[in-house]
Amino acid sequence: MKILGIESSCDETACSVVEDGKIILSNAVASQIDEHRLYGGVVPEIASRRHAENITATTKKALLDSGTKLKDIDAVAVTYAPGLIGALLVGISFAKGLCLANNLPLVPVHHIAGHMSANYLTHPNLKPPYLCLVVSGGHSHIIEVLDYTKFHLVGRTRDDAVGECFDKVARTIGFEYPGGKHIDAAAQLGDPTAYKLPKPKVDGSEFDFSFSGLKTAVINIVHNAKQKGIDIDVNNLAASFQKTVTDILVEKTQLAAKTFGYNKIAVAGGVSANSSVRKGLEDMCRENNFEFFAPKLELCGDNGAMIACQGYYDFISGKRADLSLNGIATLPIDKISI
């Protein structure tokens, strides 16, 4: 069964053809990052316009690269939540048009479920149930993956998402947007014990995260140093920040795994490309005798293959949308009603 997956929730227009939720036949991405970089972050209005301009060519490329024609496609899967509303609507409207014109079923996919599916594409042996840490530019969640289409949200960030925190810290210490990968590179050259940074606690839930206090602490270090005319050691600050984030993510994931009785742990989302986060989780899993799964680096960020893969599982579980499908900017993964 061949699913065409369409993703347009943020700043990548992406389209892919995936067979049986396993084999990536094509994975086309038109990135807008170069343009958003000029503004230091994603500008929603620009994102919508670029999606509208790029979506036809990206879809054509995905079909061409896969050697398939629309008549070979069994269903169209599209990200409908969560994300930038104008950006989502471009992908949804395009997918509806394709389905209407070609008499194809339309499958609505939750973006976070899509991120987690990147692990099925990387590790064909991974099967639910397992515990997944999702860390992206917009989300930080600990999720019980009960089945391919059933989820329970264990913990979430109360303020900034991890990726957002990486990007804001990166901007403060002088890196371009999106700064996560620059922090990762600088941290390789720094001493993670050089700066003492706080690990903010969250009242009320031991599985929830809070990153804004950590972000503010780094920003204060940089501003205080500037006022006093002292140079910051960028590599040391990047390494200390990255180590603190890793420790927070690893501690909470370990606690959730032990509390809920999981011995299979996965990570997903753009920040799962981070070398320290991957290693920290891998080490923790080895110490506890847990199995650890992380997506291939090229499948960590937003892509169409993860949507086509999750779309396959949603499709075989019977999920369908009609032409009234709308985008939803905020939708917790365990509140999916379609």
Select 63 or 270, whichever has its Cβ closest to ligand KG4. 270
Any residues with CB less than 8 A from the CB of 337 and at least 6 apart, and which? Answer: none
Query: Among residue numbers 171 through 190, which ones bind ligand KG4 (CB under 6 A)?
Result: 178-181, 184
Minimum CB separation from ligand KG4 for residue 41, in Å? Answer: 10
At residue 131, φ and ψ (nearest 5 deg) are -105, 135
**What is the distance between the alpha carbons of residues 232 and 235, in angstroms, rounded to a whole number?**
9
Q: Which does 167 bind (CB under 5 to 8 A by kind): Zn ion, ligand KG4, none?
A: ligand KG4
Comparing CA positions, the residue from 247, 334, 300, 316 lying closest to residue 121 is 300
User: One-letter amino acid identity for 79?
Assistant: T
Between strands 75-81 and 150-156, the pairing is unpaired
Minimum CB separation from ligand KG4 for residue 27, in Å? Answer: 14
- Please pick, from the candidates 92, 302, 306, 308, the single residue that binds Zn ion as defined by CB under 5 A: 302
**What is the distance between the alpha carbons of residues 89 and 71, in angstroms, rounded to a whole number?**
24
Minimum CB separation from Zn ion for residue 187, in Å? Answer: 22
Query: Among residue numbers 108 through 167, which ones bind Zn ion (CB under 5 A)?
Result: 136
Half-sphere exposure of 98 (CA within 13 A, CB side): 28
Minimum CB separation from Zn ion for residue 60, in Å? Answer: 23
Is it true that the peptide bond before 200 is cis, omega within 30 degrees of 0? no
For residue 16, count CB atoms less than 10 angstroms from its CB and return exposed for 0-12, middle for 13-18, buried for 19 or more.
Answer: buried
Comparing CA positions, the residue from 117, 205, 108, 190 lying closest to residue 153 is 205
Minimum CB separation from ligand KG4 for residue 184, in Å? Answer: 4
- By rule CB under 6 A, what string of x and - marks binding of each residue 126-155 to ligand KG4? ----------xxx-----------------
- Please pick, from the candidates 128, 192, 200, 269, the single residue that binds ligand KG4 as defined by CB under 6 A: 269
Q: Does 12 bind Zn ion (CB under 5 A)?
A: no
Q: Which stretch binds ligand KG4 (CB under 6 A): 73-81, 88-96, 160-168, 198-206?
A: 160-168
Select 163 or 192, whichever has its Cβ closest to Zn ion. 163
**Binding region for ligand KG4 (CB under 6 A):** 10, 136-138, 163, 166-167, 178-181, 184, 269-271, 273-274, 301-302
Q: Give contact residues for Zn ion (rule: CB under 5 A).
A: 136, 302
